[in-house]
Amino acid sequence: MSLSMYQASIPCFLRGLNNLSAILTKAESYAAAKKIDPSVLVGARLAPDMFPLSRQVQITTDIIKGGAARLAGAEVPSFPDTETTFADLQARIKKCADFLGTIKAAQIDGTEDKAIALKVGGRDLSFNGRNYLLQFVVPNVYFHITTTYAILRHNGLDIGKMDFLGGF
């Protein structure tokens, strides 16, 4: 049996969100144990010209919900980018996961050749469904989850590869 578009997307996105949530839970506990103002970690960056942790999480959820919605032919939910705390970020992750729960396999399977057009950074991009998922959505999701991980690791959080990958 071949891998379906649904199998290559929604379960992977849910796993990524779950692992991201677990990492943020560890970060919040770390901040409390070390008496670090949580806003320091939420606003932390790897470099001055990079987005802070909060924006990394926002972009992760934006890419996931947008990818799933476009493939499924659903309206892309709009989440305001107002998160400033770990609790806010966790709520956003949950809202994104809840949205994914509304997407059925039948909505995404068979979208390999579906035309997908969007504007990113002022550029018009066009894909077929397969390339949109595998060459745009998936790499972007993992980039921003990895960057969130790296920001926290750089700030002393004791996490490792298995925190990123999650349990099996």
pTM score, whole prediction: 0.95
For residue 1, what pLDDT is reported?
Answer: 58
3-state SS assignment for residue 137: helix
For residue 3, what pLDDT is reported?
Answer: 87
Contacts for 47 with CB less than 8 Å, ≥ 6 apart: none
Task: Answer yes or no: are the C-beta atoms of 13 and 141 closer than 8 Å.
Answer: yes
Q: Which domains does the chain have, with CATH numbers?
A: 10-162 (1.20.120.450)
For residue 56, what pLDDT is reported?
Answer: 98
Neighbouring CB atoms inside 10 A of 10's CB total 23
For residue 101, what pLDDT is reported?
Answer: 97
Contacts for 50 with CB less than 8 Å, ≥ 6 apart: 147
> Token digits for 22?
């677990």
For residue 50, what pLDDT is reported?
Answer: 96
H/E segment holding residue 128? strand 123-128
For residue 2, what pLDDT is reported?
Answer: 86
Consecutive sets of 10 residues in the chain, 168 residues long: mean pLDDT of each? 91 97 98 97 97 98 98 97 98 98 97 95 95 98 98 96 88
Sequence letter at residue 36: I
> Token digits for 28?
């919040």
